[in-house]
Structure 1
């Protein structure tokens, strides 16, 4: 009987396969549904002298404290950052800072990675610096030497969008292709007439322009109309002296209306969920402070986003990270979580199976022996009748032979050997009685 043979070798035929199957199931679930997060990430930031790059360095420090190495990639700006996220520029990036208004740049629904917003992280000002006082429209920059940022930057794209509102283009200015601190120096020596850039007030480039003598901050007229046509822009008031109240002349010298846009931390949608939660937590650490245009705690946020919100980031923003990630170091928390969710349930299932399957096989084995005992008891009951015919006796003898053949093929477990020998003795006893009554 197959059940008896399997039961006799249950360690090899039952328990070992269950253990191997449990290990295989754990590995499959671990690798397919809950893989461990990678220990290396890349973040595409911005120019090395820009505020994005400075933020990225703080991100790298915060990630390093959690055991994740964050590689910071310098870039020409937000457009290049998007290309790296989508995998259309090398090297590819997992995270990137993206300027407001870039949500529809280079959109291709096929063959590119899907992107999600981790959070809006900061307000950025649209700065227009000029050497000529009294400029209040981008139309007045026509024919002048203007820095509008490197190709692939969000500053350049926004500057061109401002030109489009007054039916201008890059051909209507002299594009010097000088940018950053070099543009501030060029403006100081008269080699540049104006500069348009998008950056936070604390940027070293902005500070370089503000420190250059003879450079003015342009306040655009009809700025409210621009925000209607470019909804990713907002008008904010930059108070007098907000940038340098202690200088000989406060900067700006008077209250100035400026355009601002919000920058975002954007990730590939396939970024590990735990790393998305960690990225939001790091963003909260870096950007939670106040700024010229926002109060402490306003950032990070998921208001007015241009890419779909990360579900993990939204949950973390509302409820915080899971308690296990708050209580333990990041990778220890991930390991313990998988032990609780995958290893423990599969282990309990395996332990249950290695008890239930042998018990079921033992029941089958015991049932076979009990069935033979029952048949033997039935024969003995008929023997007690005085009217048993010779044909019946022949039939019962044949049945006893069949039971013996089955017993010979029966791989009897050790614990059943006493009952097996007792059954053989009973069979011999009943056969003797059958033979004894044949002559009657």
Structure 2
């Protein structure tokens, strides 16, 4: 035994061997080093994709309807129920009629409004059309037969309150016909009494054929007679938001025979308008509700004719067109509204993330294996470097003994190396190979000997 190879004294260590680190702690540290950068890349991708995630549907919506008991008030209740069933609070705003509804919508005081066709302008930058719902004929009633607007020249005419759709349509009609009249705007009861007493010559109202208002007018004591409008087809072709219609005898109340004869008149459409920017999911919900309640055959409408994109004063929104032509998407058929809306929003986030995460998860396991095996294989590099140095220098026995002691230090340092149990076999193989090389160096065997 050489001096360099003398045995260790009691209590003496070859080197200060560091305390081995817990394998679980080492594993957690490796996992953190591996997954932290991947999580950071994923987070950055999520933040980038979030730019394309739309807003959530509103929790509350205001709908402008019309006078209590009118057709628009009834329609508003139907839409409000559909919204509430979907978890959206709906506030119904009663108004004097379509003109006021349109003003509220323009000012942004309501989100959706029922508006009589012909009142909005072609260019309404803040508004979007949703659907037209049904036809609302113009009813002209008097105690004596009237056939045309010209017969009312200079007479007092009950044409609805300011802000009502009837008043707006009557003014357009009389202006187009070049007829001046004395406009009156009493409520229905006052208007009927005014015509019956002779103070006014006629009463004009826009209302759906089977509405409570029309029944009230036809059944009123004093015998108000609905009259046909002369040149109704010509009027409809001049004012293109109108449609020439015929209310057939008995179609309102067959048992009572009302009306007693066919009535030729014109009719605008009841339309649903919204502020631009209304959430597409809410638009789809409103269009779906319109399809449920307004698609059946009526006095003037054929089966499936409404709801429609026709007779809208402003262009329909893309969401309304898609909802009407394609119906609810799979998401909204398969899931409750709020869940479907959430998935619909997040799809623009999920798809890019999946595209990003798939390759990241593909490279993560090989990268982890490389990190663990690198911790073992770097020792082979140190051993090979030592062997190469000794071989090139044609080492003496003393140099070989010193190299063997250096390998002893390597062995001590290996106790501080921690790897997961699944890689323990490679660590023990390294220690076995280290022992073989150390023994060859001590015995002077191998390719290093001179």
2:225 is the counterpart of 1:207: no
Tell me whether 296-305 or 335-344 shows the greater mean CA deviation.
335-344
- Distance in 1 separating the partners of 2:251 and 2:290: 25
Task: Report deviation, 1:115.
Answer: 1.5
Task: Report deviation, 1:335.
Answer: 4.5
Task: Report deviation, 1:165.
Answer: 1.3
The C-alpha deviation readout for 1:44-98, integer Å capped at 9, x for no partner, is 1111132111111222233333333322211222222223333x163x22x2212
Quick check: 1:116–1:307 contact (8 Å CA) kept in 2? yes
- Distance in 2 separating the partners of 1:229 and 1:430: 111
The C-alpha deviation readout for 1:155-186, integer Å capped at 9, x for no partner, is 22211111111334xxx433322133442344
2:292 is the counterpart of 1:285: yes
Tell me whether 191-200 or 358-367 shows the greater mean CA deviation.
358-367
Are the structure 2 counterparts of residues 151 and 17 from structure 1 closer, same or farther at C-alpha, using a change threshold of 3 Å? Answer: farther
User: What does residue range 352-371 of structure 1 map to in structure 2 within 5 Å?
Assistant: 353=360, 356-357=363-364, 359-360=366-367, 363-364=370-371, 366-367=373-374, 370=377
2:153 is the counterpart of 1:146: no
SS across alignment from 1:9: helix
Tell me whether 215-224 or 230-239 shows the greater mean CA deviation.
215-224
Task: Report deviation, 1:231.
Answer: 0.9
The C-alpha deviation readout for 1:218-248, integer Å capped at 9, x for no partner, is 322222222222111121122223233433x
Quick check: 1:14–1:358 contact (8 Å CA) kept in 2? no
- Distance in 1 separating the partners of 2:381 and 2:47: 48
User: What does residue range 368-387 of structure 1 map to in structure 2 within 5 Å?
Assistant: 370=377, 373-374=380-381, 376-381=383-388, 383-385=390-392
Quick check: 2:129–2:312 contact (8 Å CA) kept in 1? no
Matching residue of 2:240: 231
The C-alpha deviation readout for 1:381-426, integer Å capped at 9, x for no partner, is 46335x7699xx9xxx9xx9xxx9xx99x99767787789889989
- Distance in 1 separating the partners of 2:132 and 2:358: 49
Unpaired segments ≥5 residues, structure 2: 1-24, 445-449
Matching residue of 1:37: 57
- Distance in 2 separating the partners of 1:389 and 1:20: 51
SS across alignment from 1:267: strand
Give the number of equivalent residue pairs: 412
Quick check: 2:139–2:205 contact (8 Å CA) kept in 1? yes
User: What does residue range 327-346 of structure 1 map to in structure 2 within 5 Å?
Assistant: 327-335=334-342, 342=349, 346=353
Q: 2:250 aligned to 233, 236, 241, which one?
A: 241
Q: 1:121 aligned to 115, 133, 137, which one?
A: 133
For normalisation by structure 2, the TM-score amounts to 0.74
Matching residue of 1:53: 73
Look at both structures and tell me which one has the larger radius of gyration over its CA atoms.
2
Q: 1:312 aligned to 300, 316, 319, which one?
A: 319
Q: 1:166 aligned to 177, 185, 189, which one?
A: 177
- Distance in 2 separating the partners of 1:136 and 1:429: 123
For normalisation by structure 1, the TM-score amounts to 0.75
Are the structure 2 counterparts of residues 379 and 192 from structure 1 closer, same or farther at C-alpha, using a change threshold of 3 Å? Answer: same
Unpaired segments ≥5 residues, structure 1: 435-439
Quick check: 1:10–1:358 contact (8 Å CA) kept in 2? no
Query: CA-atom RMSD, angstroms?
Result: 4.5
